Amino acid sequence: MSTSAALSLYRRSLRLSLDWAVHRSVWRGQAVYIRSLFEANKNVRDPRQQQVRDQAYPPHFRAIEHFTHTGGLQVLLRETEKLLESWKHPDPYRHPTAPGGNKWERNLPARILPYAEAPGAH
Protein backbone atom coordinates (compact mmCIF):
# COMPACT_ATOMS: atom_id res chain seq x y z
CA MET A 1 0.00 0.00 0.00
CA SER A 2 1.15 3.48 -0.54
CA THR A 3 2.05 5.13 2.72
CA SER A 4 -0.49 7.95 2.54
CA ALA A 5 -3.35 5.61 1.58
CA ALA A 6 -2.45 3.17 4.36
CA LEU A 7 -2.19 6.00 6.87
CA SER A 8 -5.58 7.36 5.82
CA LEU A 9 -7.21 3.94 6.12
CA TYR A 10 -5.56 3.36 9.49
CA ARG A 11 -6.74 6.67 10.94
CA ARG A 12 -10.26 6.21 9.61
CA SER A 13 -10.34 2.67 11.02
CA LEU A 14 -9.39 4.01 14.44
CA ARG A 15 -12.02 6.75 14.28
CA LEU A 16 -14.64 4.25 13.16
CA SER A 17 -13.82 1.91 16.03
CA LEU A 18 -14.02 4.86 18.44
CA ASP A 19 -17.60 5.48 17.28
CA TRP A 20 -18.53 1.95 18.30
CA ALA A 21 -16.60 1.88 21.60
CA VAL A 22 -16.57 5.33 23.20
CA HIS A 23 -14.80 4.32 26.42
CA ARG A 24 -11.05 4.41 25.93
CA SER A 25 -10.46 1.28 28.00
CA VAL A 26 -12.59 -0.76 25.58
CA TRP A 27 -11.37 1.09 22.50
CA ARG A 28 -7.69 0.55 23.30
CA GLY A 29 -7.95 -3.20 22.72
CA GLN A 30 -9.57 -2.60 19.35
CA ALA A 31 -6.91 -0.04 18.44
CA VAL A 32 -4.13 -2.50 19.24
CA TYR A 33 -5.87 -5.13 17.13
CA ILE A 34 -6.24 -2.76 14.17
CA ARG A 35 -2.59 -1.76 14.52
CA SER A 36 -1.55 -5.42 14.41
CA LEU A 37 -3.46 -5.88 11.14
CA PHE A 38 -1.66 -2.97 9.54
CA GLU A 39 1.72 -3.97 11.02
CA ALA A 40 1.35 -7.46 9.56
CA ASN A 41 1.25 -5.96 6.07
CA LYS A 42 3.62 -3.01 6.44
CA ASN A 43 6.34 -4.55 4.26
CA VAL A 44 4.01 -5.86 1.57
CA ARG A 45 4.33 -3.97 -1.69
CA ASP A 46 2.32 -6.34 -3.88
CA PRO A 47 -1.26 -6.97 -2.69
CA ARG A 48 -1.13 -10.49 -4.13
CA GLN A 49 1.22 -11.35 -1.26
CA GLN A 50 -1.37 -10.41 1.34
CA GLN A 51 -3.16 -13.43 2.72
CA VAL A 52 -5.74 -13.85 5.41
CA ARG A 53 -3.67 -15.19 8.27
CA ASP A 54 -6.46 -15.88 10.70
CA GLN A 55 -10.09 -16.60 9.83
CA ALA A 56 -11.12 -15.58 13.36
CA TYR A 57 -10.79 -11.88 12.45
CA PRO A 58 -14.04 -9.95 12.70
CA PRO A 59 -15.57 -9.62 9.23
CA HIS A 60 -15.31 -5.83 9.24
CA PHE A 61 -11.50 -5.99 9.53
CA ARG A 62 -10.89 -8.97 7.24
CA ALA A 63 -10.57 -6.83 4.12
CA ILE A 64 -7.45 -5.20 5.55
CA GLU A 65 -5.68 -8.52 4.98
CA HIS A 66 -7.67 -9.45 1.89
CA PHE A 67 -6.08 -11.83 -0.59
CA THR A 68 -6.55 -10.68 -4.15
CA HIS A 69 -5.26 -12.36 -7.31
CA THR A 70 -6.51 -9.75 -9.76
CA GLY A 71 -6.73 -6.02 -9.74
CA GLY A 72 -3.83 -5.18 -7.48
CA LEU A 73 -3.52 -2.44 -4.95
CA GLN A 74 -6.30 -0.18 -6.21
CA VAL A 75 -8.87 -2.98 -5.82
CA LEU A 76 -7.67 -3.64 -2.28
CA LEU A 77 -7.95 0.04 -1.37
CA ARG A 78 -11.41 0.31 -2.93
CA GLU A 79 -12.64 -2.79 -1.09
CA THR A 80 -11.31 -1.45 2.21
CA GLU A 81 -12.98 1.90 1.53
CA LYS A 82 -16.30 0.12 0.92
CA LEU A 83 -15.83 -1.89 4.09
CA LEU A 84 -15.23 1.23 6.19
CA GLU A 85 -18.27 2.87 4.59
CA SER A 86 -20.48 -0.13 5.38
CA TRP A 87 -19.41 -0.17 9.04
CA LYS A 88 -20.09 3.51 9.72
CA HIS A 89 -21.96 4.08 12.95
CA PRO A 90 -25.51 5.42 12.44
CA ASP A 91 -24.97 7.94 15.24
CA PRO A 92 -21.22 8.68 15.35
CA TYR A 93 -19.72 9.97 18.56
CA ARG A 94 -19.07 13.69 18.68
CA HIS A 95 -17.44 15.55 21.52
CA PRO A 96 -20.20 17.45 23.37
CA THR A 97 -18.76 20.91 22.72
CA ALA A 98 -17.81 20.19 19.08
CA PRO A 99 -20.08 21.27 16.22
CA GLY A 100 -22.93 18.79 16.16
CA GLY A 101 -22.39 17.81 19.81
CA ASN A 102 -25.20 18.08 22.34
CA LYS A 103 -23.66 21.13 24.04
CA TRP A 104 -22.73 23.00 20.88
CA GLU A 105 -23.84 26.63 21.09
CA ARG A 106 -25.52 26.09 24.43
CA ASN A 107 -25.53 29.08 26.79
CA LEU A 108 -24.21 31.55 24.26
CA PRO A 109 -23.42 35.00 25.58
CA ALA A 110 -26.25 37.49 25.17
CA ARG A 111 -26.18 39.54 22.02
CA ILE A 112 -25.00 43.07 22.49
CA LEU A 113 -27.76 45.32 21.25
CA PRO A 114 -26.97 48.70 19.78
CA TYR A 115 -27.32 51.61 22.16
CA ALA A 116 -30.87 52.90 21.97
CA GLU A 117 -31.49 56.52 22.67
CA ALA A 118 -34.19 57.49 25.08
CA PRO A 119 -37.41 58.60 23.40
CA GLY A 120 -37.45 62.32 22.69
CA ALA A 121 -33.71 62.80 23.42
CA HIS A 122 -32.99 64.69 20.22
Domain ranges (residues) in the chain: 3-86
Per-chain mean pLDDT for the chain? 73
**DSSP state letters, 21-36:** --SHHHHHHHHHHHHH
State pTM to two decimals: 0.58
What's the whole-number mean pLDDT along residues 15-19?
A: 89
Which position has the higher pLDDT, 50 or 92? 92
**DSSP state letters, 13-80:** HHHHHHHH--SHHHHHHHHHHHHHHHHHTTT--SGGG-----TTS-TTTGGGG---SSSHHHHHHHHH
Query: What band does 11 get if pLDDT is binned at 50, 70 and 90?
Result: very high
Query: What band does 78 get if pLDDT is binned at 50, 70 and 90?
Result: confident
φ, ψ at 20 (rounded to 5°)? -85, -25
Per-residue pLDDT reduced to its tens digit, 34-72 = 888 778 767 656 545 544 443 444 555 544 444 433 345
Helix (H) or strand (E) holding 86: helix 72-86
Which position has the higher pLDDT, 121 or 6? 6
